[in-house]
Structure 1
């Protein structure tokens, strides 16, 4: 009932406004115009009398001039008389507007519906989300399974949503339908690694080696290959590939520190005596890293400190602790824009966002 009273009130206000605008009320400007018109007629009459007195008009001509002026005054009075037709012309549209408005709302309106949140209204108007975009592309691919561009577009979207099995399928299609490149092979290897919980063993390593063979200067594949060689104890190959990778650096890349640490670890592995002599220093480093981890866990810290901790754990080979540190850092810094370097380190080393 309240909504109807509100609608009637608004309609009444609108109708009153229309009537006031069109009813032809005399305001100050109209009164001023009427006074000016009367003064004009008086001036004309005085002019006629003056001309007659000065002999410029004869008696007959003066009578004719007065008669013409009288007729002009009568015509003006007739045109300014009662305007019943005008009032009808004003009231009729006002009544029609009110009747049509109320009838239309009674037919189409739903005052019983609750207010809808803005977010729902925006979504209802067709807001494009990542999920809806994926559904659209999937529908097109179902009709055209050989659409290379469609598979290329949808694969990274699957990776972003953590749908690694779908990403693997899409990237296999990309490599089947197009000519495999170092990038497409490495993309497939990374999707398989994510599906395997970060492990490079098996098909991912084979794909990375193929990628490196296609392009020896391909940074991503060389990074993974060198890291797996180091883990497997193939220190000579690891030293060769870490050095090759560092030569490709232009300075400042997020993987440089990890590559330098990987090279140092491989060199120590190749020369056990050097590793023994370095044991005290390594123990000190481990103690420092543990101290950093304890402080960040207890007190928190900057994003750079969290990134340093994750890198250090990876160099130590303590992947589970690196993953735990990465999880803690993501909670401390939920804004992805602040975690660019950290997320890059995590992705390069198979850590999973969860």
Structure 2
């Protein structure tokens, strides 16, 4: 922001210079005009003296003429090089304008300017140093653009990482209201509500998980939450049942799979200590087909020639895949710079932003590339997007950044 205000001050000084410098020059001109008037007065007095001497007989006609010529030459010599300038505006109007220019400029910029956008761009210019700074940026994003479902979603995820479940629940609720109640978001909302209410199950939580699983029986967050709630309430058989469903959905290399299997084992131990046996089948490893289901999309990203002069080499480029029918947030993201283009990147399940939301979990996805000078993945200046394609597509996809973001 300091650079912005320095530039504004420099422009203001330049504007004032156009008003004040001519006024200062006018003082010099006025002094020259005063000296010229004095010389004319002296010339007239000299002529009168010569006329008196001629009348007294001290000068003849020739001497009178010679004296007049000499006085005229002296007057011309004294006024040689002087420039007479007219100042129809006078001095008061330029001084008044010099005062009004900064006042009017400040008022117009305050009303029509984009100081908030300038401050936001400065804030997002550098990567966040810690999660608190990231949270502050996301809060500023949703405050300036409350219709951004992605902004609310990422803010909710950040709150959950800081164990601020109550704030996360409010953020996920906003995202749900903006996206038409996507099942993935319903699960996230229910999970945040559960932890914010000290793990007390409620009719609202039951309604949210029922709605999510009715829309998508494999909604991972809801399955995991039902397992946690069942375990906490001592219903270990139901916990095992829910967690087994979840394990069956996860690829073998998923890092969360081991934790869920550990939860299943603890539930089995609790059942054994209570003298009961689980009524559900033992967990089975996913089939080879399921283990190999991890999607891998390859996309070559390039910049349209007409945009070459409108971007900077350090501008961030986000390449991501999002579900055609599903949550609005990206499923997988890679970050580049404009100077890296053209570039070929790969998006796979290992790039998933959430373990429950993977490319392979959706039949069709859309590839998008966005340039953001501020480094904000949810909004930028330019973008390019492809047509919907199958999530298991193997062919290299071409993605051209060629239009303004939002078009």
Query: Quick check: TM above 0.5?
Result: no
Length-normalised TM-score, structure 1:
0.34
User: Could you tell me the TM-score, scaled by structure 2's length?
Assistant: 0.30
Whichever structure has more helix as a proportion of its residues is 1
Who wins on radius of gyration, i.e. which is larger? 1
Name the structure with the higher strand share.
2
